[in-house]
Amino acid sequence: DTGVSQDPRHKITKRGQNVTFRCDPISEHNRLYWYRQTLGQGPEFLTYFQNEAQLEKSRLLSNRFSAERPKGSFSTLEIQRTEQGDSAMYLCASSQRTGAVRNTIYFGEGSWLTVV
Amino acid sequence: DAKTTQPNSMESNEEEPVHLPCNHSTISGTDYIHWYRQLPSQGPEYVIHGLTSNVNNRMASLAIAEDRKSSTLILHRATLRDAAVYYCILRYAGNMLTFGGGTRLMVKP
């Protein structure tokens, strides 16, 4: 399978614990995005990388959230001191940077987080 | 970002065409109209996009009004596997996608 891969698919954690999600984009895609989606809502943009550079961050990305893409390939999203409001699906997506609108964004299946 | 307005939900019968509307009255000249859909428990997937002219692909057709203030996604023969949330999104060039609430399409057998 050469699609966007996310791990783990499901995570249950206690409030106050740290969690980390990993995303492996489609090979040779140099743009990587993170979104968050709560039940009944559309995905909300969190941040995106072009290669290893984090180019944009949403105001939703509080200081408890950190995302990295150290070698321009896979990315991690860490949430520190989780709160119940962090319960959501975290989606990763990737695309090529061609400057053209045809650079379709491909999404992974998401990582579900439940904070209890 | 320019916003889109879609009905919260729609119903269709299997094997019949479905027309999903989208209003985007504040669209700018450089915004492309994209449609994505999200099947249950999956990430969104690309359906189709267009700028001014109507577009067809193997999944759907996109009809764009002449003034570009509205568009319609057309599924020619709905199947049960088309039950999903459909998002109409305005996208400038290669920027990231900004999702709204979408339209939940229910397909009845």
Closest residue in A to B9 (Cα) is A40
Q: How many residues does chain B have?
A: 109
Least confident piece of the model among A74-78, A103-107, B14-18, B50-54:
A103-107
**Among partner residues B93, B94, B99, which is closest to A43 by beta-carbon distance?**
B99
| Position B93 pLDDT exceeds 80 | no
Mutation target to probe the B interface, by most B beta carbons within 10 A, among A21, A30, A35, A101 is A101
B96 touches chain A (CB under 8 A): yes
Q: How far is CA B8 from CA A58, B17, B70, in A?
A: 26, 18, 16
The alpha carbon of residue A41 is apart from the nearest alpha carbon of chain B, in Å, by 6
Closest residue in B to A99 (Cα) is B94
The alpha carbon of residue A42 is apart from the nearest alpha carbon of chain B, in Å, by 5
pLDDT at A96: 84
Q: What are phi and psi of B82, to 5 degrees?
A: -85, -5
pLDDT digits (tens, 9 = 90+) for A72-85: 899 999 999 999 99
